[in-house]
Amino acid sequence: MQGFYKYEDPTMHHAPNFVKNKAFTLLSTDADKTQEVGGWKWCDTEDDAYTYFGVTKKLTPEEFALLTPEEQTAILNA
């Protein structure tokens, strides 16, 4: 899902349309969304955000159950 992402351990925050605080406002309609501002970075997908911030996404038990046994084993042995 496109949007602005910010990682604050252990939470990945997502703002699909805008981020506003006292110091700046970021809009999804801004022409240049390539720069990180205040820890917020525009990414096309959630996976892109995890990659950008160098964080491994934590799966919910439901998501883990949907993986193949081989994928589950790889995660458990990582």
Domain ranges of the chain: 3-76
**For 42-67, how does the pLDDT look when each residue is reduced to its tens digit (9 = 90+)?**
999 999 999 999 998 888 899 999 99
How far apart CA 12 and CA 9 sit, in angstroms, is 8
Distances 35 to 14, 39, 42, 51, 52 between C-alpha atoms, Å: 16, 10, 8, 16, 12
| 19-29 pLDDT per residue, tens | 999 999 999 99
Strand pairing class (11-15; 3-8): antiparallel
Supply the pTM of this predicted model.
0.78
